Amino acid sequence: MRLYDVPEELKRRIISMHLQRYGELEGEPEMGAFGEIYKLKATLPLVAKCPQLKKFGTDEGYERAIGKLLVEFEKVGLYWRHHGVQRYNGIEIIYGWPFLLSRLRHETLADRIADAASWTMTDKLLCLVQVCRALSYCQRQGLTAHQDLKPANIFVDDLSRHFRNSGSSAVIVRYKTYVADFGLADAFREFGKNSGSRPYMAPEQYHSGSIDNGSAIDIFALAVMSFECLSDGTHPIGEKTSEVWPVQLSGKSSKWKRENVWKDWARRSEKAFPDASIAAKIPAAVLYEIKKALSPNPDDRPTIEQFEYSLWCALEREAGDLAQSYRTLIDVMDEHYTASDDSDWPYLTDCISRLRRLYSIRDQNPQKAQ
């Protein structure tokens, strides 16, 4: 028997019983496009992510779900050493259904962008620098493209919450970012799947052929995300992204549901920003790189390192001498957290082995993988 065969009224009780050693289930699960997320109340709050039971709760769906989770877990297993990657802390298999455990972060970059008044231009630039550093590290470990880079997939911790008695002045970098959701990483190369999330997709992702310069996919998405971040949520197409995607707010045109609207914009060689006052909020050095990064020609886009350089130029103008302190801190974090090798965390290797075993016996008794 698998979890999706259990009567509905017993599922939550069974899940709660198996996860109680990590913490107490809090509220109802949140539903994403692929998974359902359970929050666990504990000293260090956790989340447990599993494939949606209603969406994948068949024998055929089970195989697809386990395969997708395995791919994501193996990817994170390559990149977990970097402090800017959202890692998994463990796996729990409940009646053959896998739950991936990770730290609960305070919010996502999408949440942060929506709360424009509560952070500064320096905060925004430092968040983007951290994303660049994490992606650069992943590329050095073999990643070509995350392929689904967007604010909702960047988790954020407000470090000042850990120093409540001292306030935000107790931390040099207030917001710590974590790149998450590697479920589509390199899918263009390994599975022939080019797509991502439409507002962030490069033009080459809209066709089904092979992609030669895959790393340029993330640069395009990074440019869109940076424009949103620095303009308080406006997409370069001229709309507040949260108002038109994935759901259109009342009064917004239904055209934003159509793929060709986003595809035609992505393919334009000249992308004139619709409101000059919005573009004026963005530091000139960064805006210059954003324009290059939005080129329909992948070979004309800058590298992640070039894009990061523009962010530091803007930080020097914005923060003055403090910019060097920010750089030193981030450099030290990079050096400290990436100096280890696989032997430092054999537990992760064991978790991946358990998930592989579950996938290998998917047509048999799933309890053997417990």
Residue spans per domain, the chain? 3-105+341-365, 107-337
Topology (CATH) of 107-337: Transferase(Phosphotransferase); domain 1 (1.10.510)
**φ/ψ of residue 91, rounded to 5:** -140, 140
**Model confidence pLDDT, tens digit, residues 86-98:** 999 889 999 999 9
**pLDDT band at 350; cut points 50, 70, 90:** confident
Distance CA(312)–CA(300), nearest Å, equals 21
pTM: 0.92
**φ/ψ of residue 205, rounded to 5:** -80, -10
Number of residues in the chain: 370
**Model confidence pLDDT, tens digit, residues 213-251:** 999 999 999 999 999 999 999 999 999 999 999 999 999
pLDDT at 162: 76
Mean residue pLDDT of the chain comes to: 90
Topology (CATH) of 3-105+341-365: Phosphorylase Kinase; domain 1 (3.30.200)
Please report which helix (H) or strand (E) contains residue 62, including its range: helix 59-79
Q: Which of 43, 69, 45, 52 is nearest to 4 (CA)?
A: 52
93 CB-near residues (< 8 Å, 6+ apart): 99, 354, 358, 366, 369, 370
Per CATH, 3-105+341-365 and 107-337 having the same topology is answered no
Full DSSP string of 110-137 = HHHHH-GGGS-HHHHHHHHHHHHHHHHH
